[in-house]
Structure formats: C-alpha cells, structure tokens
Amino acid sequence: MATKIRPLHDRVIVKRIAEEEKTKGGIIIPDTAKEKPQEGKVVAVGPGKYEDGKLVPLGVKSGDKILFGKYSGTEIKLDGEEHLIMREEDILGVIE
C-alpha cells in the first residue's frame, strides 16, 4: 500500500479476502450471484478509544484475519484497491 493512512480512534482498515469461484461440489458461481465476502485482513489500526480518560488499545492488530458483518464499514479506495474502514465494534471475531 503506497498511500499511507492511519485510522483514528477505534477504527480499522480492512482488505476483503476474495471468496472461492467454485463451491465444494464444483459448481462455478457467476459474478452476479456472488455476495461480498465477510472475511478480511486488517491493514491498519487506530490507537484505540478513550474510556474514563484512559486510552484502551484495540483487540486486533495489523495482519489479523477477521470476520465482520455483511453491511459493516464504509468502502474506500486506496491506490485503486477497495478497502473497508470500520469501527472495532463491527468486527465479529478474529479467525485463527
């Protein structure tokens, strides 16, 4: 990522992970029938949010593979690639 961007507060920047073109049974899924993937890789994280005057760091870090809600985040373009910027609370879990 050539463009340097640092999210603020409890926000993270996520790059979607592309889904498979075929099902396990070998059926090819056309582009019009595909749903946007709900898995992604964290590209950048903010410093955290303030609660009671103290900075609370985020529970995810850059490089984590995460699962997020279907309609979570705001789509942005960085260097011609689509990314999402979302709050940490929109992340459903970290995939290990």
SS3 59: coil
pLDDT score of 71: 81
84, 74 contact by CB (below 8 A): yes
DSSP code at position 25: T
Q: Indicate the class that CATH gives domain 13-18+35-85.
A: mainly beta
Q: How far apart are CA 72 and CA 85, in angstroms?
A: 9
Please name the residue that has the structure tokens 């309609």.
Answer: 71
pLDDT tens digits for range 56-87: 888 888 898 999 888 888 888 888 888 889 99
- For the entire predicted model, the pTM comes to 0.75
User: Where are the chain's structural domains?
Assistant: 13-18+35-85
Give residue-wise pLDDT tens across range 13-64.
998 887 655 556 666 666 555 566 688 899 988 888 888 889 888 888 889 8
Rounded CA separation 75/86 (Å):
9
